C-alpha cells in the first residue's frame, strides 16, 4: 500500500515521520591504521571515539575546502563513514589517495539501503514494526550505533539528526529496508512530503552536499565549524582554518533569508545589499505550507542579521530579510 504522506511539519517535533534524505552511502574503512589515519586526516578527534559511538568530522583539501561531510562510526573491526550517496565514491577515492604508508583500505559498501525516521517517536515506531531498538538508544549521543536482528533481516541503527530533529537511520539490505518501510506504512507512520522536508532543512540551517557544500567552501562559511576540533594535532587543510580563525578572515557565512511577498528565488540568484551588487548568492529555497518562502544563502559577513536585502531574480528584484546565521566558530 502507498504510505500516508503528510505536509504537517509538526510531526517531527511531536511524533515521527519517514523522510527521504536523498541517499546515504557507507564507506567501510579497514586496516590496522584506520583509527590513526582518519584521526590525522580529518577534522575531528577520531581517536577519542569508542566502539559503538560516533562523531561528526570533515575531509578537507589542502586549501581547507570541504570535500566530505562525514559521520564517523567506530566498530570493533572497522570504521564506517556515512556520507551523501552522491559523494561516496569521490570521498573514498580521496581517502585512498592519502593512505600511502598506512595499513588502511576504504570501499563503498554495496547494496546497502537506508530508512530514515525523524522525530521523538522514531525509536517507538521501529519497535512497533518489530525492530528491537535498545531501550536507551534514543538517549544515547548522536551518531551512536548498534546492530538489530529484525524480522526483516539484520539492520544497523544510527542515532541521527536531520531537519532540526533527532531521529534514527536504519541501514540494511535493500530487501530488509523495503520490508521495514512496508511495515511502517501499515502502522500508519507518515512520509514527510519532500518539499516540506527541504523547507525544514533550510529553516534548520543544515548545509547539503551539492547545494551549500560544493567543494569550494570553507567549513566555517557553511555552518560546519562544530566538526572542527581546534585542540587536536594537524589535519589536512588545518593551516587555512587556523589562519582564518586567528585573523578573523571569514568574509561570508551561511544565513537564512525570509522572503517578503509571494516571490520565490532560485539557487544561484545574486544577493544585493546597499552598494554591494554581489553581496552573496542563494543556495537553497523552500516554503512551509502557509508561510513565506525561506532560503539559505552564502552572504557577506558585513551584512548583519535583521538587514533587508535584494535578490536579483531574472528581471525582478525580490526582497528578503536576514533572519539567522550559523555560528562561524
The cell numbers describing 302, all together, are: 558585513
Q: What is the pLDDT of residues 284-319, one digit of tens each?
A: 999 999 999 999 999 999 999 999 999 999 999 999
Q: What is the pLDDT of residues 76-103, one digit of tens each?
A: 999 999 999 999 999 999 999 999 999 9
pLDDT band at 119 (very low <50, low <70, confident <90, very high): very high
Among 142, 23, 160, 162, CA closest to 84? 23
At which residue does the C-alpha cell 585542540 appear? 231
The cell numbers describing 148, all together, are: 538489530
Give the span between the Cα atoms of 119 and 58, in whole angstroms. Answer: 26
Give the span between the Cα atoms of 129 and 175, in whole angstroms. Answer: 15
CATH superfamily of 251-329: Aminomethyltransferase beta-barrel domains (2.40.30.110)
The cell numbers describing 29, all together, are: 574503512
Mention every residue, 6+ apart, whose C-beta is less than 8 A from residue 109: 25, 26, 27, 28, 80
**In whole angstroms, how large is the CA radius of gyration of the chain?**
21
CA 86 to chain centre: 13
Measured from the Cβ of residue 232, the count of other Cβ atoms closer than 10 Å reads 17
**Over residues 255-273, mean pLDDT:** 96
Rounded alpha-carbon distances, angstroms, from residue 281 to 197, 222, 284, 294, 298: 22, 13, 10, 14, 6
**Over residues 5-22, mean pLDDT:** 94
pLDDT band at 249 (very low <50, low <70, confident <90, very high): confident
**Over residues 144-149, mean pLDDT:** 97
Give the span between the Cα atoms of 89 and 86, in whole angstroms. Answer: 8
Domain ranges of the chain: 1-248, 251-329
Supply the CATH classification number for the domain 1-248: 3.30.1360.120
pLDDT band at 113 (very low <50, low <70, confident <90, very high): very high
Give the span between the Cα atoms of 274 and 272, in whole angstroms. Answer: 7
**CA-CA-CA-CA torsion sign (29, 35, 41, 46):** positive
Amino acid at each position: 500500500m502507498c504510505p500516508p504522506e503528510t505536509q504537517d511539519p509538526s510531526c517531527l517535533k511531536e511524533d515521527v515521520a519517514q523522510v527521504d534524505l536523498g541517499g546515504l552511502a557507507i564507506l567501510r574503512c579497514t586496516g590496522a591504521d584506520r583509527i590513526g589515519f582518519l584521526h590525522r586526516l580529518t577534522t575531528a578527534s577520531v581517536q577519542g571515539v569508542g566502539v559503538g559511538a560516533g562523531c561528526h568530522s570533515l575531509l578537507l583539501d589542502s586549501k581547507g575546502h570541504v570535500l566530505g561531510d562525514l559521520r564517523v562510526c567506530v566498530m570493533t573491526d572497522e570504521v564506517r563513514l556515512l556520507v551523501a550517496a552522491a559523494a561516496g565514491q569521490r570521498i573514498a577515492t580521496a581517502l585512498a589517495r592519502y593512505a600511502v604508508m598506512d595499513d588502511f583500505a576504504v570501499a563503498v559498501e554495496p547494496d546497502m539501503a537506508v530508512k530514515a525516521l525523524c522525530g521523538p517517536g522514531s525509536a517507538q515506531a521501529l519497535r512497533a514494526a518489530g525492530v528491537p531498538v535498545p531501550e536507551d538508544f534514543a538517549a544515547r549521543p548522536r551518531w551512536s550505533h548498534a546492530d538489530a536482528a529484525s524480522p526483516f533481516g539484520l539492520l544497523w541503527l544510527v542515532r541521527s539528526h536531520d531537519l532540526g530533529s533527532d531521529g534514527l537511520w536504519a541501514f540494511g539490505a535493500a530487501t530488509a529496508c523495503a520490508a521495514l518501510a512496508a511495515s511502517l506504512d501499515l502502522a500508519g507512520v507518515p512520509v514527510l512530503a519532500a518539499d516540506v522536508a527541504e523547507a525544514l532543512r533550510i529553516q534548520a540551517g543544515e548545509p547539503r552536499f551539492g547545494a551549500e557544500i560544493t567543494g569550494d567552501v570553507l567549513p566555517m562559511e557553511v555552518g560546519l565549524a562544530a566538526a572542527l576540533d581546534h585542540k587536536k594535532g594537524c589535519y589536512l587543510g588545518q593551516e587555512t582554518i587556523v589562519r582564518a580563525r586567528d585573523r578573523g578572515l571569514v568574509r561570508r557565512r551561511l544565513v537564512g533569508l525570509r522572503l517578503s511577498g509571494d516571490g520565490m528565488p532560485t539557487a544561484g540568484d545574486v544577493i544585493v545589499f546597499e552598494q554591494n551588487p554581489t553581496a552573496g548568492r542563494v543556495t537553497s529555497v523552500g516554503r512551509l505550507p502557509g508561510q513565506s518562502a525561506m532560503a539559505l544563502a552564502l552572504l557577506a559577513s558585513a551584512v548583519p542579521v535583521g538587514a533587508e536585502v535584494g535578490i536579483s531574480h531574472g528581471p525582478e528584484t525580490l526582497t528578503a530579510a536576514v533572519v539567522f546565521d550559523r555560528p562561524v566558530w
